Amino acid sequence: KQEVTQIPAALSVPEGENLVLNCSFTDSAIYNLQWFRQDPGKGLTSLLLIQSSQREQTSGRLNASLDKSSGRSTLYIAASQPGDSATYLCAVSGWASGSRLTFGEGTQLTVNP
């Protein structure tokens, strides 16, 4: 059974700092990995999708990497802003579980002005 873990559970940083969020998964036979953002009381916004054959994806100030063999992904946020404050979730789909996403518990990020 696929398990996804995110570290840290919570993170508070001053504005402008670069930061890294970590995600690990137990079964490396994945289709893809998605990073999402969730604002309080809202649904999920997809940030980045990395296919199993890819090593990284970039969108603006966000960069996500994937090391499938070690079961790890990182989300790098450059020059953080207060508007980046949210919960960040990573999720994987894979051969064992089909198309369904298995989610981590999330990292709650607070960027202080």
Chain positions contacting another protein, by CB under 8 A: 31-32, 34, 36, 41-46, 49, 51-52, 89, 91, 93, 97-106
| 90 φ/ψ angles, rounded to the nearest 5 degrees | -115, 150
In the bound state with another protein, the residue whose beta carbon lies nearer, of 36 and 80, is 36
Distance in Å, CB of 14 to another protein, minimum:
27
CB-nearer residue toward another protein: 101 or 111: 101
Minimum separation from the CB atom of position 64 to another protein (A):
13
Nearer to another protein, 21 or 80 (CB): 21
Q: How many CA atoms lie within 13 A of 57 on its CB side?
A: 16
Looking at the Cβ atoms of 3 and 15, the one nearer to another protein is 3
Dist. CA 31–CA 81, nearest whole Å: 32
| Closest CB 109 distance from another protein, rounded Å | 16
Q: CB of residue 52 vs another protein: minimum separation in angstroms?
A: 8
Q: What is the 3-state secondary structure (H, E, C) of 76-95?
A: EECCCCHHHCEEEEEEEEEC
Strands 4-7 and 19-25: antiparallel
Question: With contact defined as beta carbons under 8 Å apart, do 48 and 59 qualify?
Answer: yes
